[in-house]
Amino acid sequence: MKLSYRPIGDFIRQVKIKNSEGLYNDLQGINIDKFFMPSVANTVGVDLKKYKIIKKGQFACNRMHVGRDYRIPVALSREVKPFIVSPAYNVFEIIDNSILDPEYLMMWFSRPEFDRNAWFYTDADVRGGLPWDSFTSTELPIPSLEKQLEIVKQYNKVIDRIKLNETLNEKLEAVAKALYRQWFVDFEFPNKEGKPYKFSGGAMVWNDELDKEIPEGWEAVPLKNFTEINNGFSYKGGELKKSKTALITIKNFSKNGLFKTNGYKEIETYRAKEIHFANEGDVIVAHTDLTKGAIIGKSIIILDSFGFDKLIISMDTVKVNTKSNNISNSLIRQIINDKSFSDYAMGFVNGSTVLHLSKKALPNYDINLPKDRPKINKLSEDLNSLTTYQKHIIKIDSKLIEAKTLLLSKMTSIEDE
């Protein structure tokens, strides 16, 4: 039996409990991807007693910028301990959990169609606020609680697997960093006997270019000597149109240096040159940053085309590829993502609100390498193996995201028994 739709307002009520006794100071905001996160607002001298308390099972939404962002930030608290949110947020809860499950409602809020519908009802303000009455008049199908829980269970299986893959990717990244530092920072690569070089008394010599001791038989080499570096595509707003080509921007960079599969824009490619296109295995470096330097100078490696025919790198990034048979792109990525490069790069950053990395930084960065390049073949092979595993996980993730999207889309065609 096909379900009829009913307004959300029939099932929720606002909660307006202020932090009047000052019991809580954990202030959180709502990410555009619909989860709570620590607030970046400056609270020095701010009276937190005016902020609203939110408890487990309650929701909060920010209706102020829907027209600007084309999405309505709304999130469900799953935290045991209460926290506080902005007084401008609407905090609400489900009236009767035996009729409507909170996780089911959050699934409905996660649908792209919900955002598009919310955007349609925004007001004439520059930021495009969504009136509360419009929010509560949004309709959704309400199957039996048993059916809701079944749908939520299926959805959570997919979400849990995505989170597991994220954890696996982070662990693989940690292994890659550890391998790199073992060789290039601690100099404990295997000697001829297979023992750690420096710990076993390997000879060290002073290097003036690097201003530190390096293993005997190693040298300082600028990155430009063994890589090809190309700037990204300077696109125009009118070229962002529906197509089979994705634009890779700094939104595809995570703070821990991993590749984010969301954040794509689609773009026409008739003006782009061959150097602007990216392929699997290419290293992309962030040259612009809006997050106070957390991403600038970081690199990601392209692991999948995600169903697009072509990928183009944007003007806020550059593409780096190896020119050496002994130095893999996986190794280059670890070189760029190491703290030594981050510290070096910050000396080439300009700007205040938007930070920019000088084009001179990457090519002229010196790294210590063995003069006998084949010595690092084993490290490059190991890093390539880890990258291949990450690529496998990313491909699985793309299928899981498809399944997640399909489950959300099927909510409109639920039939109850």
d(CA 265, CA 415): 35
Q: Which two tokens stand for residue 407?
A: 């489950």
> Is 128 in the same domain as 273?
no
Q: Kind and range of the H or E element at 289? A: strand 288-289
pLDDT given for residue 223 in this prediction: 94
Percentage above 70 pLDDT, the chain: 92
Distances (CA, A) of 205 to 193, 202, 213, 214, 220: 21, 10, 5, 6, 12
pLDDT given for residue 101 in this prediction: 97
Q: What is the per-residue pLDDT across 395-410, written as a single tens digit (0 to 9) for each?
A: 888 889 889 989 998 8
List phi, psi (to 5°) of 188.
-105, 35
Q: Are 310 and 269 in contact (CB under 8 A)?
A: yes
Q: Are 89 and 53 in contact (CB under 8 A)?
A: no
Q: Which domain holds residue 101?
A: 5-142
Average pLDDT, the chain: 88
The helix-helix angle for 145-184 and 377-409 (nearest 10°) equals 170
Number of domains in the chain: 2
> Is 42 in the same domain as 180?
no
d(CA 54, CA 92): 9
Give the predicted TM-score (pTM) of the model. 0.80
- The model's confidence at residue 126, banded by pLDDT at 50, 70 and 90, is very low
d(CA 176, CA 327): 15
CATH number of residue 383's parent domain: 3.90.220.20
pLDDT given for residue 215 in this prediction: 95
> Is 179 in the same domain as 307?
yes
Q: What is the per-residue pLDDT across 44-73, written as a single tens digit (0 to 9) for each?
A: 788 899 999 999 999 999 887 665 567 788
Given a cut of 50, whether residue 240 has pLDDT beyond it is: yes
Q: What is the per-residue pLDDT across 325-334, written as a single tens digit (0 to 9) for each?
A: 889 999 999 9
> Is 241 in the same domain as 287?
yes
d(CA 204, CA 214): 5
> Is 187 in the same domain as 100?
no
- In this structure, is residue 413 part of a structural domain? no
> Is 205 in the same domain as 90?
no
